Amino acid sequence: MYDDVKKIAGIYIRVSTEDQAREGFSLPEQEKRLRAMCEFKGYEVYKVYEDAGISAKTGNKRPAFDELLQDIKDKKCNTIVVLKLDRLTRSVYDMEHIMKFLEENSAYLDCANDDINTTNANGKLVARLLTSVSQNEIERTSERTKIGLAGAIKAGHVPCA
């Protein structure tokens, strides 16, 4: 049972350039809030893993996240703590991979703002649903951008590279 396991947290913080500009998620603010959450929940903080200026898009190399996953494999920590689920991923495919990895390594995800954790089936369901919504948001933005670009080209405006 999860409650019987000592929670050793790997705090994962990430911002992409777009995130900082749009939403003001600073790395120090994420760390401060997550450390407070860990203290409140009685988690021991093993390490803070920071990926600055890197999008969580599928295929992007995130060195700190890779290090966190290796530390989970090596049993140095057993809980990924993030501020929002989209700090981890916005891809349904990636989320399933992460969920499987956590299950195989007896580890968990605890997300502060979305108030979800993967210690039970309901937490896993909510994580999957929120990831689906987030992926849909990215896909809709991409569609609107393509439509706007096509309209600009038809109107004679040549986009700059």
**pLDDT exceeds cutoff 50 at 21:** no
Q: Mind listing the domains of the chain with CATH numbers?
A: 2-154 (3.40.50.1390)
Query: Residue 120's pLDDT is what?
Result: 67
Cα–Cα distance, 114 to 116 (Å, whole number): 6
Tens digits of residue pLDDT in 115-158: 777 666 666 666 566 666 666 666 566 576 666 666 666 777 76
Model confidence band, residue 81 (pLDDT cutoffs 50, 70, 90):
very high
Identified catalytic residue from 16, 55, 132, 134: 16
Residue 91 annotated to the active site: no
Pure H helices in 8-156? 17-23, 27-41, 63-73, 85-88, 92-104, 121-154
**Of the spans 11-20, 26-35, 125-134, which averages the highest pLDDT?**
26-35
